[in-house]
Structure 1
């Protein structure tokens, strides 16, 4: 069984320049330099965002998504922005010091498993037109530890149904599937058993049942 090891950055080799790690890898200025990391996306709470020295700060562009590793945490609202940011960074041309070495983009969370794993899987889905299952399989070939929590998995499957955007094509109107998901999550945190494991489980089952209907409609 794969386990967490010493700090390192794991290359998603099918996407030259894309890396995933835990918080310790993201804090290592030596590893960042070694892999030519110029962009770092932190999918963490504020306290787990890396604190680098001033020299490193001037050389790295960052994005912070304030995300808890909780099944009801909304990641759908961040996915398109995060994926487009990663893609634009990967498209950047290498500097003159080593033109053969691609610009590095690191996505990290606390353990490099759920939150950052979900972002990497989302990127593969959006920019390589992969299903959730196929994107997860590709990502795990390079980092077997990747495992979005059940709520993130459900959201990524919903994102697939929404064609990788929570907004209707060419508009600022939220898709009804996403509106339904948000409404269900709000209900899960109301009432005497608000936020309990039982309520969250029931909520996810309700969402899953509706997603199955939507999937059938798309197939037909």
Structure 2
């Protein structure tokens, strides 16, 4: 895996950006013209810049975490910022699961992409994204609420339950249960 990707700020749309926390620094934020940041971490403090509004959503990167309670709130905020001519950066620790899920939810709600289309759109711009199985189930439920149907389904695999969009890349993976000593 190319570790440089974790320092990338990926442009999802002309006003929505996705990154890891490591990529967030004042110079880059100014250069891109970010006006708002959504920080989806438990442990990383908001960037303190007078010209940037930040909100923090305290969500664990765990399948049991309730990220879906923020889907509408985050999507609405991104949309409002865009309508006022601003730009939003969404980040979590790695820019892989929590923040990617919120970007996908936004694309579903405001760009009317189905879940599969939204996932592939974000993945094309930041190929390291991989929302966890719990977030996938929440995204499937959100798609069901928005459109009355689901374009992605959870399937059983050799590594446990995964969304069907992971089927090919997970084909040769093997699950090793963790051992406690």
Q: CA deviation at 1:104?
A: 2.1
CA deviation after TM superposition for structure 1 residue 145, in Å: 1.0
Q: Deviations over 1:108-141 (max 9, x none)?
A: 0000000000000111111122221111001111
RMSD between aligned alpha carbons?
1.9
Residue 104 of structure 1, aligned match among 87, 98, 112: 87
Q: Which has the higher strand share?
A: 2
Structure 1 residue aligned with 2:15: 17
1:121 is aligned to: 104
Q: What secondary structure, in the 3-state scheme, does the structure 2 residue paired with 1:41 have?
A: strand
Equivalent residue, structure 2, for 1:31: 28
Greater fraction helix:
1
TM-score by structure 1 length? 0.64
Match of 2:124 among 141, 148, 155: 141
Query: Tell me, which stretches of 5 or more residues in structure 2 are unaligned?
Result: 148-159, 163-181
Pair 1:61-2:53 in alignment: yes
Length-normalised TM-score, structure 2: 0.76
Alignment map for 1:1-220 (pairs within 5 Å): 1-5=1-5, 7-12=7-12, 15-26=13-24, 28-45=25-42, 47-52=43-48, 56=49, 58-93=50-85, 103-163=86-146
- Structure 1 stretches (4+) deviating beyond 3 angstroms? 1-6
Bigger-Rg structure (1/2)? 1
Distance 1:51 1:138, change over 3 A: closer
Query: Structure 1: where are the runs of 5+ without partners?
Result: 94-102, 165-200, 206-220
Paired residues in the alignment total 150
